[in-house]
Amino acid sequence: RLTSLYDALTKRRNHGQKSLAILLDPDHLDEANCRHILELSEKHPVDYFFMGGSLVMSSHQAALIRFIKSRSSVPVLLFPSNSLHLDEQADGILLLSLISGRNPDFLIGQHVIAAPLLRQSNLQILPTGYMLVDTGRQTTASYMSGTTPLPYDKPAIAACTAMAGEQLGLRLMYLDGGSGAMYPVSSAMIRAVRQATEVPLIVGGGINTVDKAQAALVAGADVIVVGNQIEKNRDFLGEVSKVVRSFNAIKNMSPE
23 binds ligand 1GP (CB under 6 A): yes
CB of 57 to ligand 1GP, least distance (A): 16
| 200-239: contacts with ligand 1GP (CB under 6 A) | 204-207, 225-229
* Residue from the set 87, 134, 176, 222 that interacts with ligand 1GP by CB under 6 A: 176
175 annotated ligand-binding residue: yes
Tell me the C-alpha distance between 151 and 185, whole Å. 10
Q: What's at 9, amino acid-wise?
A: L
Is 109 annotated as belonging to a binding site?
Answer: no
| Nearer Cβ to ligand 1GP (82/229) | 229
* Per-residue CA distances from 228 to 27, 156, 218, 240 (Å): 12, 28, 22, 13
Do the Cβ atoms of 91 and 124 come closer than 8 Å? Answer: yes
**Minimum distance from residue 188 beta carbon to ligand 1GP (Å):** 18
Looking at residues 136 to 175 of the shown chain, list those that interact with ligand 1GP (rule: CB under 6 A).
none
Q: Which one of residues 41, 124, 179, 248 is an interface residue with ligand 1GP (CB under 6 A)? A: 179
How many residues at the interface with ligand 1GP, by CB under 6 A? 14
Of 231, 228, 224, 229, the C-alpha closest to 245 is 224
Q: What is the distance between the alpha carbons of residues 186 and 219, in angstroms, rounded to a whole number? A: 9
Instruction: For residues 146 and 242, give the distance between their C-alpha atoms in angstroms, rounded to a whole number.
Output: 37
Distance (Å, rounded) from C-alpha 114 to C-alpha 56? Answer: 17
Annotated binding site for sn-glycerol 1-phosphate: 174-180, 205-206, 227-228
- Give contact residues for ligand 1GP (rule: CB under 6 A): 23, 176, 179-181, 204-207, 225-229
